[in-house]
């Protein structure tokens, strides 16, 4: 795969009042790969995602997209670049149907009038392209769907737009075993279709099942970006809970990530 | 990863079975059982009320009274149609009644006191409504005061403004023939028929086009029987209404002839069609539903939530202005109580009785019309039965409470059936 990351962040800082949530964070995502973003509660995973998607402004740092510097000020900027986020709390409207949700905010129109047939057809094609066959009718309200089906709709909504980067925030957190397997398979398929996928998860089984690279956040700092095959389950848990594991992670004491993170990040560009 | 192939992959659903009449009806029934009852209570209530009143008071069933129902209910219905937009966001506008009073007062002042032509007065009244709505919407969306409080303050303040515009309780008569005609004159019978025919033809054309484009693209279509049933249903309702309204209802034909569809009816119909089009067929309408269903999801989809919130208050107050104009026309005058007393609660009641949810995200402009009919029938029928206004208020209050309970219970029912 290409050596330039599709999405690259450098030196991202973000504070909420006196609390610094992200500290000099670097992060990259490569096309055709699933990059897992792990970290404990409060490590800053969701904040990082909201910065990428333009919901929160960043205090400092730069965004590179395909090697070009870009600025993202609101969700529309992110969407225009092809960055789509599937949120933990799904961000679907229960009172709208599947098609309406998938096109929300970007409806197809003939002049003033909504072009329902085109939207329905595109939605059907997208779901078929992801080999989704679990929904009965595209015109059923989202309130009538199961958790896995909702997640599927949310993911399908994200890929509908020829998006290039799809970020999934805890997509399996609320799902049962079978539904989790289904969603993970979908995640893998996205990457195999050439998208850069970022998967945020607490579940190490999920992370090791689908990811190619793992990025670990610890108290707002990026402590490691490594290939999944180069690291063990136990090491990741150590990185998440203590911020370091052997040669990886924060160097002891000073809390700076300059030493630990960089060498480990290099192998990430492989594959 | 790929080893965990799941059993459900090949089965089911890609092209769902072609719907038939029975599957369509069954689908509707299961939706009703699941809590999506829509305007069903209003329609049933309307049938029951009309039956009861017709039996108790034969005069209820006369053509004259039928026409009365439309003109009596028009102002409340128009205000309720605007309220639907606000209710769809889960907000409320308690000031809509007195906002209509303020707009009516502006109308009367411009046309009678200042002597401008009627269209200037109408424009001034509607612009007043737009201004009121913008202020309310700004306060709710930009400053973040709950709409309940903002519009309660508006309720008090607008009451005062009406008094001030009326110079402490004087009443201003409205004599302009065009304005008076809105609620007091009728269309020529032939014109009534022509408009009804045009409406049915237009509806049929829209349905046919929809069917053909969907069929051409291989999408699931409603069964043809259902499409025809809809068109025939509309034709029956419109035909009966126009036929009844075209009956002679003057007490003494020698003095004057009184027949035809009251002019407010096409006015309401045009606004109903426009409102329905905006809500169902434009992305603006889609965004209103989205904000009402899940504000955060709408924001993340890139929808400008504040703009939507402001705009619904503008629509609501502008519709209130039109309601105020109709009220002024019907009374031939504006007094300090125009838009006061029960007008607002009747309007909220009309929207909710029709099936618009107080929790947001669910409702149609048609709901306001159906609910407005229920309110008008209660008001009119109980008046004919000789009940005092005390009893009328109590009964209307109970009906509103019933409608709100149905709304809350159907939500619970929907939640129990897999919704949230």
Residues comprising chain A, all counted: 271
**Averaged pLDDT of chain A:** 83
Q: How many CB atoms lie within 10 A of CB B310?
A: 21
Express as a percent the part of chain B with pLDDT over 70: 93
Minimal-distance CA residue of chain B relative to A89: B297
Least confident of A208-212, B121-125, B308-312: A208-212
Question: How far apart are the C-alpha atoms of A30 and A7, rounded to whole Å?
Answer: 7
3-state secondary structure of A10: strand
Q: Which H helix or E strand runs over B211?
A: helix B189-216
Q: Which H helix or E strand runs over A70?
A: strand A68-70
In this structure, what DSSP letter does residue A195 have? -
B378 Cα to chain A: minimum distance (Å):
32
Contact assessment for residue B394 and residue B388, using Cβ atoms and an 8 Å cutoff? no
Which domains can be identified in chain A, with CATH numbers? 7-82+163-269 (3.40.50.300), 91-162 (no CATH)
Domain residue ranges of chain B, discontinuous segments joined by +: 70-185+283-400
Per-residue pLDDT at A251: 64
3-state secondary structure of B16: coil
Does the distance separating the beta carbons of B301 and A105 come in below 8 Å? yes
Express as a percent the part of chain A with pLDDT over 90: 11
Higher model confidence: residue B106 or residue A182?
A: B106
Using CA atoms, how far residue B316 sits from A142, A170, B93, B334, B394, in Å, is: 28, 40, 8, 21, 26
* CB < 8 Å to B299, chain A: 75
Interface of A with B in 199-228 (CB under 8 A): 209-210
Does the distance separating the beta carbons of B302 and A133 come in below 8 Å? no
Does the distance separating the beta carbons of B6 and A185 come in below 8 Å? yes
B194 Cα to chain A: minimum distance (Å):
27
* pLDDT at position B419 over 70: no
Using CA atoms, how far residue A190 sits from A131, A171, A204, in Å, is: 11, 14, 20
Per-residue pLDDT at B238: 93
3-state secondary structure of B291: helix
Confidence of residue B10 (pLDDT cuts 50, 70, 90): very low
3-state secondary structure of A43: coil
* CB < 8 Å to A110, chain B: none
Does the distance separating the beta carbons of B6 and A105 come in below 8 Å? no
Using CA atoms, how far residue B127 sits from A257, B131, B338, B372, in Å, is: 61, 6, 18, 25
* pLDDT at position B361 over 80: yes
Does the distance separating the beta carbons of A184 and B1 come in below 8 Å? yes
Nearest-CB residue to A96 (from B290, B414, B417): B290
Minimal-distance CA residue of chain A relative to B216: A117
Higher model confidence: residue A131 or residue A112?
A: A112
Question: How far apart are the C-alpha atoms of B144 and B392, rounded to whole Å?
Answer: 37
Per-residue pLDDT at A270: 39
* CB < 8 Å to B293, chain A: 93-96
Q: Is B383 on the interface with A (CB under 8 A)?
A: no
A253 Cα to chain B: minimum distance (Å):
40
Using CA atoms, how far residue B373 sits from B71, B75, B379, B381, in Å, is: 11, 11, 10, 12
Does the distance separating the beta carbons of B297 and A92 come in below 8 Å? yes
* pLDDT at position B359 over 60: yes
Confidence of residue B18 (pLDDT cuts 50, 70, 90): low
Question: How far apart are the C-alpha atoms of A167 and A50, rounded to whole Å?
Answer: 10
Per-residue pLDDT at B339: 79
Write the ipTM: 0.82
3-state secondary structure of B341: coil
Per-residue pLDDT at A3: 67
Express as a percent the part of chain A with pLDDT over 70: 90
Burial per residue of B157-171, b for 16 or more beta-carbon CB atoms within 10 angstroms, e otherwise: ebbebbbebbeeeee
CB pairs under 8 A between A and B: 123
* pLDDT at position A91 over 80: no
Q: What is the mean pLDDT of residues B77-94?
A: 95
3-state secondary structure of B131: helix
pTM of model > 0.90: no
Question: How far apart are the C-alpha atoms of A196 and A163, rounded to whole Å?
Answer: 9
* pLDDT at position B16 over 80: no
**Six-digit token pair at B30?**
């299961």
């Amino acid at each position: 795969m290409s050596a330039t990351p599709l999405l690259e962040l450098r030196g991202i800082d973000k504070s909420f009042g006196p609390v610094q949530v992200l500290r000099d964070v670097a992060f990259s995502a490569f096309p055709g790969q699933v990059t897992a973003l792990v970290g404990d509660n409060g490590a800053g995973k969701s904040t990082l995602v909201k910065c990428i998607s333009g919901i929160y402004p960043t205090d400092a740092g730069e965004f590179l997209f395909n090697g070009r510097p870009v600025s993202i000020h609101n969700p529309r900027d992110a969407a225009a670049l092809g960055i789509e986020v599937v949120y933990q709390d799904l961000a679907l409207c229960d009172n709208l149907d599947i098609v309406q949700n998938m096109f929300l905010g970007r409806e197809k129109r003939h002049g003033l009038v909504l072009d329902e047939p085109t939207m329905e057809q595109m939605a059907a094609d997208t779901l078929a392209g992801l080999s989704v066959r679990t929904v009965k009718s595209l015109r059923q309200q989202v309130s009538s769907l199961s958790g896995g089906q909702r997640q599927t709709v949310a993911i399908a909504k994200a890929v509908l737009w020829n998006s290039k980067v799809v970020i999934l925030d805890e997509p399996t957190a609320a799902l049962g075993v079978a539904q989790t397997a289904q969603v993970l398979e979908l995640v893998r398929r996205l990457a195999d279709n050439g998208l850069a996928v970022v998967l945020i998860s607490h579940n190490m089984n999920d992370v090791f099942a689908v990811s190619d690279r793992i990025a670990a956040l610890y108290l707002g700092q990026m402590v490691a970006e490594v290939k999944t095959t180069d690291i063990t389950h136990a090491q990741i848990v150590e990185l998440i809970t203590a911020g370091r594991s052997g040669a990886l992670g924060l160097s002891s004491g000073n809390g700076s990530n300059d030493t630990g993170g960089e060498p480990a990040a290099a192998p990430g560009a492989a594959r | 990863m790929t080893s965990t192939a799941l059993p459900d992959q090949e089965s089911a659903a890609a092209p769902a079975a072609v719907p038939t009449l029975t599957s369509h009806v069954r689908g509707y029934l299961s939706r009703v059982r699941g809590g999506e009852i829509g305007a069903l209570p209003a329609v049933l209530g309307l049938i029951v009320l009309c039956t009861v009143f017709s039996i108790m008071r034969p005069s209820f069933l006369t053509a004259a009274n039928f026409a009365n129902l439309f003109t009596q209910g028009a102002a409340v219905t128009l205000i309720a149609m605007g309220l639907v937009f606000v209710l769809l966001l889960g907000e409320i506008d308690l000031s809509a009644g007195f906002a209509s009073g303020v707009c009516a007062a502006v109308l009367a002042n411009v046309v009678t006191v200042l002597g401008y032509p009627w269209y200037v007065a109408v424009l001034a009244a509607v612009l007043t409504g737009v201004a009121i709505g913008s202020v309310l919407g700004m306060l709710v969306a930009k400053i973040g005061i709950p709409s309940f409080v903002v519009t309660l303050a508006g309720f008090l303040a607008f009451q005062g403004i009406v008094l001030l515009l009326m110079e402490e309780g004087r009443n201003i008569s409205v004599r302009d023939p065009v304005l008076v005609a809105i609620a007091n004159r009728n269309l020529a019978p032939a014109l009534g028929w022509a408009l009804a025919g045009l409406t049915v033809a237009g509806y049929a054309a829209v349905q046919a086009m929809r069917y053909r484009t969907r069929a051409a693209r291989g999408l699931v279509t409603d069964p043809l029987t259902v499409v025809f049933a809809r068109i025939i249903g509309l034709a029956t309702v419109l035909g009966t209404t126009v036929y009844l309204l075209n009956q002679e209802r003057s007490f003494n034909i020698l003095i004057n002839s009184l027949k035809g569809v009251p002019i407010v009816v096409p006015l309401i119909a045009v606004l109903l069609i426009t409102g329905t089009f905006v809500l169902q067929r434009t992305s603006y309408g889609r965004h209103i539903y989205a904000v009402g269903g899940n504000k955060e999801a709408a924001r993340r989809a890139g929808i400008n939530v504040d703009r939507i919130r402001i705009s619904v208050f503008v629509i609501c107050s502008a519709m209130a202005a039109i309601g105020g104009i109709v009220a002024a026309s019907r009374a031939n005058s504006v007094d300090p109580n125009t838009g006061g007393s029960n007008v607002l609660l009747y309007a909220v009641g009309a929207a909710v009785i029709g099936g618009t949810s107080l929790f947001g995200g669910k409702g149609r402009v048609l709901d306001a019309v159906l609910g407005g009919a229920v309110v008008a029938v209660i008001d009119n029928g109980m008046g004919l039965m000789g009940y005092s206004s005390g009893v009328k208020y109590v009964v209307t209050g109970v009906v509103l409470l019933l409608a709100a309970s149905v709304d809350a219970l159907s939500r619970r029912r929907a939640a129990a059936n897999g919704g949230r």
